[in-house]
Chain A
């Protein structure tokens, strides 16, 4: 089973590579819009890169665009990883 630390590391790696974000900005309290400058169109790309990274679909009954902070995203991926026995 993947640990929370691994989830955070993999998520940050994916976001940093795709969205040209520096590691210092990727803190759990970072707000997607105000701190990271990501909008709803970026959310579509975010889903694609994270699905590729984790190997399961993130489009399962929850709209990723409604998440506010990076911590919300970590929690969501952790929950899905458990459900998918990853």
Chain B
């Protein structure tokens, strides 16, 4: 039964999801190109709509998809999530973050079509952008009402990898609260390097925001990274049993 479900997901649902990305981009791109605003807000809203579509397909392919959103104020945040699957990028939209700037690795910018949208949405290349410029560009994005999204593990290869402290340093410097996000089940559905889409239970959870004020001193951001990793991974490991 599991094998049958995996075949169905891989043969029908995955191509349908890719078709959704391609057709929605073809329809929206000319409009965004000619009528899009300068700061990229419309492009980011378009990515949000695409993400919601992908989450719909994930729901079809899953053994149930649950979303838990803790109440939060309507300010920009630094959103941090665990990362073990290419699907994780799309799950952020399901948690209600509709105007976000992603900070990603350089190779993502090299994917055809993606880089076009990413550039215009104001996404940032973590490897190419010097630290000072990163800070000023994030500051500008925050002034435009954007939240900043990072996957502090930096890679999908090890789902239990430590959280690097850059995201938390950024939150401290920009004086923004951090919203921890746990993504459970995508590492079973589509782990790094997989070619088939397995049916899995997916749980997406955003925790209450965490203020940087409780993490002072020179290594405050490192302590925050450890605490938030513990909070996220405890939830993920519990849900993935």
Is B164 a contact of A41 with CB atoms below 8 Å? yes
**B15 to chain A: closest CB distance in Å?**
35
The number of residues on chain B lying at the interface, defined by a beta carbon within 8 Å of a beta carbon of chain A, is 10
Q: B219 within 8 Å of A by Cβ?
A: yes
Q: Kindly identify which residue among B154, B218, B219, B222 contacts A39, using a CB–CB cutoff of 8 Å.
A: B154
The number of residues on chain A lying at the interface, defined by a beta carbon within 8 Å of a beta carbon of chain B, is 13
Is B218 a contact of A45 with CB atoms below 8 Å? no
**B118 to chain A: closest CB distance in Å?**
20
Q: B173 within 8 Å of A by Cβ?
A: no
Q: Which of A19, A20, A42, A45 has the most chain B CB atoms inside 10 A of its CB?
A: A45
Knowing A39-B154, A41-B154 are in contact, say whether A52-B219 is a contact too (CB < 8 A): yes
11 of the cross-chain contacts (CB-CB < 8 Å) are A18-B162, A18-B226, A19-B162, A37-B158, A42-B164, A48-B165, A48-B219, A49-B219, A49-B222, A51-B218, A52-B218
Q: Kindly identify which residue among B166, B218, B219, B226 contacts A41, using a CB–CB cutoff of 8 Å.
A: B166
Residues of B within 8 A of A19 (CB): 162
Give complex CA distance A42, B222 in Å.
11
Residues of B within 8 A of A49 (CB): 219, 222
Residues of A within 8 A of B166 (CB): 41, 44
Q: Across the two chains, which residue of chain B brings its CB closest to A39?
A: B154
